[in-house]
Amino acid sequence: MRQRVEIYWIKPLLVFVFCCCCSNGVTGENKPIQTFVIPHSHMDVGWVYTVQESMHAYAANVYTSVTEELSKAKDRRFIAVEQEFFRLWWDTVATDSHKRQVRQLVKEGRLEFIIGGQVMHDEAVTDLDDEILQMTEGHGFLYETFGVRPQFSWHVDPFGASATTPILFALAGFNAHLISRIDYDLKDAMQKNKKLQFVWRGSPSLKAQQEIFTHTMDQFSYCTPSYLPFSNSSGFYWNGVALFPDPPKDGVYPNMSLPVTKDTVHAYAQTMVDNIKQRAEWFRTNHVLWPWGCDKQFYNSSVQFNNMDPLIKYINQNSKEFGVTVQYATLSEYFQAIYQSNLTWEVRGSEDFLPYSTEPYQAWTGFYASRNVLKGLARQASSQLHAAETLFTSYRVMFPDGPVAKDWALSKLRALRWAVSEVQHHDAITGTESPKVADMYLQHLKQAMMGVEELLAALFLLPHSLNRPNVHQPLEQHVIVYNPLAWNITTIINITVTFPNAAVYDDKGQPVPAQIQRSAQSNVTNDLFIMVELGGLQQRNYLIKFSEKHCSQRPKCMWTYEAKGVLFERRNIQAWRKTGRRLLPVLSGCYKLMFDQDTNLLHSITHLQEKREVMMTQDFWEYHANGDVKVGPISDNYIFSANSSSVRAYKAVEMEIIPGKIVSEIRQYFYRWESDKDYAYSVTTRVPECFGTKARCLRLEQTYSLGPLRLNTEVVLRTSSSLKNNRTLYTDDNGYQMMKRPYRKFTNNTLARNYFPMVRAAYIEDDVSRLVLVSDRAHGVSSQAHGQLEVMLHRRLWNNLPWNLGYNLTLNDSSIVMPTLWMTLSSISATSTRYQREAIELQHRPVVVPIDQPSVSFPVHSVVLPPNLHLLSLSVPGWNYSANHDVHLSRKGEHSEPDYDRVLLRIMHLYEEGEDPELSKPVSINDLLQGIGEVKELEERSLTGTWDLPSLQRWKWKTADNLDTKFKTCRSCGNFTVTIAPKEIRTFFVHFSSSNF
């Protein structure tokens, strides 16, 4: 995404770049600077153009052209980053000749795969599960096809850097990590002090165990400097600018740089050398990484290499004069040179580089909330994929020859894996893409989800025959409810029904507690709440019997409660002169919620067991964004730039309370004007009863409705409380770990620079209590005042910036969004034991599938992990490679069928060291999968499965403390006992006994 950087960051610095005094080019022991020219093309999987358009216009040509050009000269190199484009090229474009050339280039190390994931994922708003998935997809393909395993990252374009990403890369076997986009002022300070390189210990619990050397790109970022003092052309991009929709027929692209000739070679060389010397001043070693390329480069790489070849030759022929040597290189060659320098490196702890700012008024915190619908569907698809993977794996173990065709099932799973992986791209889930590209992501997700719904239906109805007589029972509905978590759960499911009365029975014919009431979303439907109890990875059948008449049989009627609502008069904010006089309580086993009848807003929450009352209100506010660049800073897809404080987004509030025996519901409707017929925003708060467990009733389940918004507004849900948090906030990094966010003051733009991403959770606290929110999708979150927690839920923006208009990147999002948050208020110790699990339970709610007729589903014994462990993955990947590396290399290139018997298992410890007296302890487990089948072999692997962990020897970088990095692994785990320490993620290949397969 080069243009965005130039406008907001690079261009203002270029005047300085070529006017400053350069060093003499000699560092260390009077040696010339060794320059590693790394050819690359940054190819966004989406952004302005769809994947299909990009493949047609340039992406396919990159790999065709580079393959041919690398084969012509042994010294040429290239790094390939985003695997989605490469896999599409490999499967649909590459000839047999191209494939032979690629295999040879990979073998020689001249074509190097970097990162290796499907995409270069965003780091702010992506979820841990999905980051791992997209890496696993790419790594599996590369290892299967070429026998290679990426060991370096190239995270040059995500908008800020998370502390979770380096942990995941270390777990995947990477030796070094590369980032670029961090705060402009921080990068400037790091450059001056030669601190752009460090050893990053992203996890306070894992510490040195998963540390990784990290290189931060300097102020030029990943693009070759484009300014030339002797030409108006675009620097070192001799092949010009890619064209959409079709490449030019004559092969001549616009904005072609001056070719390298006898007349221009010295000017090019001097410009390049000056830039190299400037960069050398910012790093500790005698080696300079010089990225050659930018967005959409190398689609005509013969032009590129034929110009760079003589330039490199000329500089090396005059290296004494220039004080510089230059060579084509891969990223591994650069990092190998840094590693061999044997320096002692500074350690960076678990802090991240979020948020990201490029200038005083350019805080990239708006994208945390851009395209809320896409963010929600992406998480929904990920959840559905997890459920389908675990269910299909259980089915395969129990019925290896069952009637659900394994190749058909795998194709459905792979399609959704691809779609979920694709949308993790840093111009996808971020919401920073053009509308047609957003539509492409949505279409891919929906289409793949429909396929997986077919798979789920088949798995639920089989192995029994589907050819049963169709019994017409219009007043009965059978549903299957599946728990995709490896925990026992008691929860409430909600089914929308048309009948006003219903009775519910479980698979043993016993009545089940239920509640029915008029739907919050429609006057012609009803919400049926059903209490369900499910073991880990278990499914149950429920029968719903409907009736148009009220139930008259007393004992039977007591199981389904018919809840009625009480509507409260609409209140105008102008009448809020006296509040708190008429308070109405809503009680559960955990809380007393007080609502103010003078405002129709929440007034306070009392935790009944802890006997503490916290004053609290919740309502909607909006920031009015500037849309005119001539007036001042603007908000757009990326940037949040508030010109002033937020204002109330409503003039009147209406409320309805529906007391219930399973759940009580409070519906609040917010009107822009008191006389409006339709509300602009709503909050539906569900207060569950306990039913034997206090844990579930501790959460208040809230669903919101917003939209369509007025143009140039950014709407937040503001929760204001009496907690004394000093404006300090805690938010999660990718659902993996919590980060402390103290409120900071800046000369400019303080409001926007104190916004942070919330992927799964955020909380504020004082010395006694903690208020926690967990979310079903990513949002922006801040604490702008004491006791305040505000969540940006939705944005609709338009501005007249030519760059945005030219690429159709204005965020004129007129959609209606309906996100969900669960809120908990309790002591710090109590919430410390719960919020991690709450976030996962919200993300992986039970799967409810209506069916037309009864089904006896396949039996699964409950799979239950200890409360501090989470079953992160249980899938049949279908890779055909051998787990033995030597064997795999000997077979490489041979076609073989997918391996349906190998199961990929990941288990994660949810807690940090010291977070809880009991739950933070290491925990040992054995026979954890006995509910599925008898384990024959358990082999520990790297995070993405491609490394046999005992054989993985990552580079050990020197630090002042030289902490021990050893950790226990098991190749063939004796008696299948595994110990998992705080925050560990351990990955295994599992084979079940032949009695199952």
Where, residue-wise, is CATH 2.70.98.30 in the chain?
619-843
Parts of the chain with a pLDDT under 70: 1-29, 462-474, 550-557, 691-695, 854-860, 892-895, 964-975, 994-997
Instruction: Kindly report the number of other CB atoms within 10 A of residue 220's CB atom.
Output: 21
3-state secondary structure 59-100: HHHHHHHHHHHHCCCCCCCEEECCHHHHHHHHHHCCCHHHHH
Question: What is the three-class DSSP state of 310?
Answer: helix
CA angle 528, 529, 533 (to 5 degrees): 135
CA angle 213, 218, 221 (to 5 degrees): 105
What is the strand order of the sheet 869-875 is part of? 869-875, 903-909, 985-992, 935-941
Whole-angstrom Cα distance, residue 947 to residue 172? 8
Nearest to 699 by CA among 785, 588, 802: 588
CATH fourth-level superfamily of 476-562: Golgi alpha-mannosidase II (2.60.40.1180)
Spell out the CATH class of 619-843.
mainly beta
Whole-angstrom Cα distance, residue 169 to residue 458? 36
Whole-angstrom Cα distance, residue 532 to residue 545? 16
Q: Which residues of 568-601 are buried (b: 16+ CB within 10 A; e: fewer)?
A: bebbeeeeeeebeeeebebebbbbebbbbbbbbb
- For 303-404, list the strands marked E by DSSP: 324-328, 347-348
Sign of the Cα torsion 314, 315, 319, 322 reads positive
Whole-angstrom Cα distance, residue 876 to residue 395? 11
Residues 6+ apart with CB under 8 A from 657: 565, 566, 568, 584, 586, 595, 664, 665, 666, 667
Cis peptide before 245 (omega within 30 of 0): yes
What is the strand order of the sheet 197-200 is part of? 176-179, 212-216, 197-200, 347-348
Would you say the pTM of this structure is higher than 0.75? yes
Whole-angstrom Cα distance, residue 10 to residue 31? 30
Q: What is the reported pLDDT for 697?
A: 84
Q: How many residues does the chain have?
A: 997
What is the Cα Rg of the chain in Å?
29
Whole-angstrom Cα distance, residue 938 to residue 988? 6
User: Which string of DSSP letters, residue by residue, matches 44-61?
Assistant: -SSTTS-HHHHIIIIIHH
pLDDT in tens, 599-627: 999 999 999 999 999 999 999 999 999 99
* φ and ψ at residue 383, rounded to 5 degrees: -65, -45
Spell out the CATH class of 33-230+259-367.
alpha beta
Q: What is the reported pLDDT for 994?
A: 65
Residues 6+ apart with CB under 8 A from 938: 970, 972, 973, 976, 978, 988, 989, 990
Q: What is the reported pLDDT for 530?
A: 95
Residues 6+ apart with CB under 8 A from 388: 412, 413, 416, 452, 455, 456, 459
Look at the block and give the residue holding tokens 């165990």: 209
Whole-angstrom Cα distance, residue 71 to residue 77? 10
Structure tokens at 204: 């306070």
Upper half-sphere CA count for residue 19 (Cβ side, 13 Å)? 5
Where, residue-wise, is CATH 2.60.40.1180 in the chain?
476-562
Whole-angstrom Cα distance, residue 849 to residue 501? 20
Whole-angstrom Cα distance, residue 307 to residue 309? 6
Which letter does DSSP use for residue 456 in this model? H
Where, residue-wise, is CATH 3.20.110.10 in the chain?
33-230+259-367
157 labelled catalytic: yes
CA angle 594, 596, 599 (to 5 degrees): 150
Whole-angstrom Cα distance, residue 236 to residue 439? 35
Q: What is the reported pLDDT for 112?
A: 98
CA separation (Å) from 667 to 525, 567, 595? Answer: 16, 9, 11
Catalytic residue among 127, 157, 295, 766: 157
| Strand (E) or helix (H) holding 470 | none
Pair 634, 644: CB distance under 8 Å: no
Q: What is the reported pLDDT for 757?
A: 98
Question: What is the three-class DSSP state of 682?
Answer: strand
User: Which string of DSSP letters, residue by residue, matches 927-952?
Assistant: STTTTT--EEEEEEE-TTS-SBGGG-
CA separation (Å) from 550 to 503, 554, 662? Answer: 11, 11, 19
pLDDT in tens, 446-460: 999 999 999 999 998
Instruction: Kindly report the number of other CB atoms within 10 A of residue 346's CB atom.
Output: 13
Amino acid at 648: R
End-to-end CA distance of the chain: 49
Query: Greatest CA span in the chain, whole angstroms?
Result: 100
